[in-house]
Structure 1
């Protein structure tokens, strides 16, 4: 377990985190401190508790907006995947239709060739 010293709202805090997460925790603490400093500039000295609550609400709002964006993106991804499946099915059907048309044409050509060979008689053959 690692320890990090962080300053938030002018106060020092010793915070514990998982090993390797020190930089991340320091950045999070700096973000909260910056929000509190900005709020203090906007509203003046309205009390550390109020400033901290307001900063927490700002973070919660950011998190809520991020969740909404993630849901929208997941819905878009699902719609794209559905469209891809429909498109793939259509392409497969079109490919099957083309193969069927070629096979049908080949059978007709073979039939015409047989008839021509029959009318030409023995010794003269086409194809």
Structure 2
């Protein structure tokens, strides 16, 4: 199993990961370290453990907000999908009505043409 070195709050940590996940683990560690550094800049030196716990909680808070947003967007997509199906169904019903009206008009025109043919034959 591959191992990578990451740095969090000035300390290096050796971590194992799945094959092919090395770059992702390094990127995640860099992102977490940025969170730690920003928090350290805001609250000062408060101890490594406390700082790391606060940064972890901040990251989980961001995750929770992202999950809420995803849930809202999924609900919107479901609503739009339902509305799209309703519109498609209405369009199909309208097309069927139009087709029926067109068939009715065609029958009337054929009846008129037939009547005209029988009452006034075309000259030969």
Q: TM-score when scaled to structure 1?
A: 0.90
Q: What is the distance in 2 between the residues matched to 1:116 and 1:45?
A: 101
The residue that corresponds to 1:77 in the other structure is 77
1:33, distance to aligned residue in structure 2 (A): 1.4
Runs (5+) with no aligned partner, structure 2: none
Matched, 1:4 2:18: no
1:116, distance to aligned residue in structure 2 (A): 2.1
Q: CA RMSD in A?
A: 1.2
1:31, distance to aligned residue in structure 2 (A): 1.5
1:94, distance to aligned residue in structure 2 (A): 1.0
Q: Which runs of 4+ in 1 moved over 4 A?
A: none
Q: What is the distance in 2 between the residues matched to 1:106 and 1:94?
A: 18
The residue that corresponds to 1:23 in the other structure is 23
Q: What is the distance in 1 between the residues matched to 2:112 and 2:20?
A: 78
SS of corresponding position for 2:19: coil
Matched, 1:50 2:50: yes
* More displaced 10-residue stretch of structure 1: 59-68 or 26-35: 26-35
